[in-house]
Chains A and B, each alone.
Chain A
Amino acid sequence: MGACPQRIINFKNYSIDMISSMIRSVDVPDESDEPFILGLICENDAYPALDLAGQNRVQYNPNFRFISLRCLGGTNLVWIADALSKGIDGIMLIGCKFGDDYQCHFIKGSQVANERLGKVQETLDRLMLEAERVQQVQLAINEWDNLPQILDDFSERLKELGPNPYKGF
């Protein structure tokens, strides 16, 4: 789903159009002191980590909106464009670890997403947006206690970069 630049691969209950529509239905505040951030989370490690944070009543930044994916490997770059054109200030991909001691349930999904993000830099440059607005984080289910820090750090960085110039269009 994520690999195809023509977006031809989809499932009956999970499609590129579905996630694009969800992103477009988010209510993005026109003006705010706090950056407004889209989080794409995988259902295998990141979603449970968020659950565990909730179960432990750990409080975190309320300016994130998480959309759960089957795997970060299915991330289609059109979603980045959708989010940025809605005025969302930054996008964070949270998924399983990849590499030698990988945990990604789809073996290489998060790795493939990471490589694909490298291609998005060019598009961002053309839109006069900073590449840092899109980040990927590897999170294991047992690292839920790091979440508040990870989210706040990204939010701080986005504050330094300033709000998305396309906000309110």
Chain B
Amino acid sequence: MSESKLGVYICTDCGIGESLNIEDLQKIAKAQICRTHSFLCSQEGAQIIRDDINNEGVNKIVVAACSQRVNYDVFDYDPLKYVTERVNLREHVVWSHPPNTEETQAMAEDYLSLGITRASKSETPEPKITDLNKTILVVGGGVTGLTAAIEAAKAGSQVVLVEKEAELGGWSKKMYKILPTKAPFAELEKPAIDSKIAEAEGNENIKIYTATTIRKISGEPGMYDVTVEKGGSEETFTIGAIIYAIGWKPYDASKLDNLGYGKFKNVVTNVEMEEIALNGKIARPSDGKPAQSVVFVQCAGQRDEAHVPYCSSVCCNVSLKQAMYVRESNPDAGAYIIYKDMRTPGLYENFYKAAQDDEGIFLAKGEILGIEEEADGSLLVEVNNLLLGKTVRIKADIVVLATGMLTNMIPEDYEVNNLTPEYIGTITKKETTDGVTEELEPVPISLNLSYRQGPEMPHLKYGFPDSHFICFPYETRRTGIYAAGAVRHPMDALQASADAAGAALKAIQCLELTSQGKAVHPRSGDQTFPEFRLESCTQCRRCTVECPFGVLDEDEKGRSIHTVAAAVVPVWAPVLRGSLISRITVLI
């Protein structure tokens, strides 16, 4: 910054003038320009600051008035040219302390002095404007991935979509009918996934790879190098941001030991029930007899610490849907839904009512006490019916277990209720000179990131990639990578489509901000960038290990570099890996 000139501006409105000795306060400013005004945030007040900027060369502005969280549009001076410091005399001093006392005056004088020191030690940022690759990679070709790709392409981005199966569409391709997607949200609809697949395939801005997995991703937002593998051969390309939409898988019902799955042929999961429906008729698996009576067991292995500790939010709606299949297939049939609670989150109240109005669908709150098989294959379900207050036994042709949704971030052989903290992996014991230590070894799953902290997204609970749930639900802990759909928590296709659009927006926003040298989150728009005085680096790696966003890595000499200048603030934008390494070599 060129020669700095500081100006102090004290507002005496909002009680400040009445509660403080302004003259004494002004003495704190010593040799600086110091002006007072009775209404500093007015046009006239703001003008005195502008006049000093234009005529006196003031380039560090200390505004002693209200909180920095208000009037930031009034005291808005180009942050690339001027340092602005807000001293809070209002909320933090005169509004919370008695007027005209020695202590209150001492507070105000100290705060002004602190503010002046802060401004004096501040410099204006030099933003890193860079040319980036703005292509978006979508990982996963189900309803979420396809929607994200289509939305991003419509917004003008180039998209690359990678799907590990040979066919696009994911779970939506295996649905007989889908939950209502338009008002009044009362009737089942035909799946629309085929038209979505056609739209994505027909869009010239979307390049699709099927039967392809990701071998490696290295780099940072704006310049990720992705290596994919298809049928034995590899290809590498560059992209800017990633949408992570790898979806879900059902909980393994064979782990549920008291519901007869695996023992009795006619006990199936909700996923298998959908397959039965696709065959045309609702018939029981053991002998093909059309189902006269079907019992749905809700929360099968869910809201249960021993299996899936959470509620998957979708299965109640799915059972209502499948109960309607039963009724449609055989108007004389009865469908019995036994639930802990009936949960139809979203816009599905009318849908729930339509099911209740059907004279063949029976809903009861109860616990399953036992399931037995009869000689002919039909099942006898004993239920403690909490609404009736007594035990009932229902004879069923099919029992459908409403099992839960797990995120695909959980690899085969890992338990959803017993994952290692933060990074999914294994704890290994290592022999060191200090004794035996335990270390977490994260396992690669689908992204294979070359990040020092781990190859996959950090999770908070149950394998779901961590987003800041309260403040920034659409972010993740890796800037540039946006999780969408059931990978991040159980949801239905309608919510997943909205999620996908949100992730596409975030991905585009990330690239735009990064190219302008601005932080993405939490301090959106911040153009400062951390500077490392590498001559004094002792390679202790504390910064590398502690960064919550995994932004730092090491060079060959063990010194920290922000190659993965991913993120959020404080570190956000790409610093060209090549130029920084050469700088390190020069310093040695």
Footprint of B on A, CB under 8 Å? Answer: 1, 3-15, 17-18, 21-22, 25-27, 29, 43-44, 47-48, 50-51, 53-55, 57-60, 62-63, 65-67, 70, 73-74, 100, 102-103, 105-109, 112
Knowing that A3-B547, A9-B532 are A-B contacts, what are 12 other residue pairs whose CB atoms are under 8 Å apart, sorted by A's residue number?
A7-B536, A10-B531, A12-B122, A12-B126, A13-B125, A22-B118, A44-B522, A54-B96, A105-B522, A107-B477, A107-B549, A108-B548
Contacting residue for A51 out of B92, B109, B466, CB 8 A: B92
Q: Which residues of A contact B122 (CB under 8 A)?
A: 12-14, 18
A63 to B97, CA, bound (A): 11
| In the complex, chain B residues 291-341 whose Cβ is within 8 Å of any chain A Cβ | none
Contact present for A55 and B95 (CB under 8 Å): yes
**Taking the complex as formed, is B516 at the interface, i.e. its CB lies under 8 A from any CB of chain A?**
no
A115 to B104, CA, bound (A): 34
CB distance from B437 to the nearest CB of A (A): 17
Q: Which residues of A contact B523 (CB under 8 A)?
A: 70
CB distance from A49 to the nearest CB of B (A): 11
Q: Which residues of B contact A100 (CB under 8 A)?
A: 460-461
Contact present for B468 and A107 (CB under 8 Å): yes
Size category of the B interface is: 35 or more
Contact present for B124 and A13 (CB under 8 Å): yes
**Nearest-neighbor residue (CB-CB) of A103 within chain B:** B470
Report if A21-B548 is in contact (Cβ < 8 Å); known contacts: A6-B536, A55-B95, A70-B570: no
Q: Which residues of B contact A6 (CB under 8 A)?
A: 536-538, 540
Contacting residue for B529 out of A11, A15, A48, A60, CB 8 A: A11
A100 to B472, CA, bound (A): 16
Report if A21-B107 is in contact (Cβ < 8 Å); known contacts: A103-B471, A107-B549, A112-B546: no
The dominant DSSP class at the B interface is loop
**Nearest-neighbor residue (CB-CB) of A58 within chain B:** B96
A51 to B549, CA, bound (A): 29
Q: Which residues of B contact A74 (CB under 8 A)?
A: 570
Contact present for B123 and A13 (CB under 8 Å): yes
**Nearest-neighbor residue (CB-CB) of A4 within chain B:** B543
Contact present for B569 and A107 (CB under 8 Å): no
Q: Which residues of A contact B83 (CB under 8 A)?
A: 13
Report if A65-B96 is in contact (Cβ < 8 Å); known contacts: A6-B536, A11-B531, A50-B91: no
A26 to B542, CA, bound (A): 31
Q: Which residues of B contact A63 (CB under 8 A)?
A: 103
The dominant DSSP class at the A interface is loop
A168 to B536, CA, bound (A): 33
Contact present for A12 and B124 (CB under 8 Å): yes
Q: Which residues of B contact A65 (CB under 8 A)?
A: 107, 110-111, 114
Report if A105-B468 is in contact (Cβ < 8 Å); known contacts: A8-B536, A13-B123, A15-B121: yes
**Taking the complex as formed, is B250 at the interface, i.e. its CB lies under 8 A from any CB of chain A?**
no
Q: Which residues of B contact A59 (CB under 8 A)?
A: 96-98
A25 to B466, CA, bound (A): 41
**Nearest-neighbor residue (CB-CB) of B475 within chain A:** A107
Contact present for B522 and A57 (CB under 8 Å): no
A5 to B537, CA, bound (A): 9
A143 to B540, CA, bound (A): 38
CB distance from B258 to the nearest CB of A (A): 30
Contact present for B530 and A11 (CB under 8 Å): yes
Contact present for A62 and B123 (CB under 8 Å): no
**Nearest-neighbor residue (CB-CB) of B104 within chain A:** A62
Q: Which residues of B contact A60 (CB under 8 A)?
A: 96-97
Q: List 5 A-B contacts (CB under 8 A).
A: A4-B543, A54-B95, A57-B95, A70-B523, A108-B546
A100 to B68, CA, bound (A): 30
Contact present for B114 and A3 (CB under 8 Å): no
**Taking the complex as formed, is B69 at the interface, i.e. its CB lies under 8 A from any CB of chain A?**
yes
Contact present for B548 and A12 (CB under 8 Å): no
Report if A10-B530 is in contact (Cβ < 8 Å); known contacts: A26-B110, A107-B477: yes
Q: Which residues of A contact B95 (CB under 8 A)?
A: 54-55, 57
CB distance from A24 to the nearest CB of B (A): 8
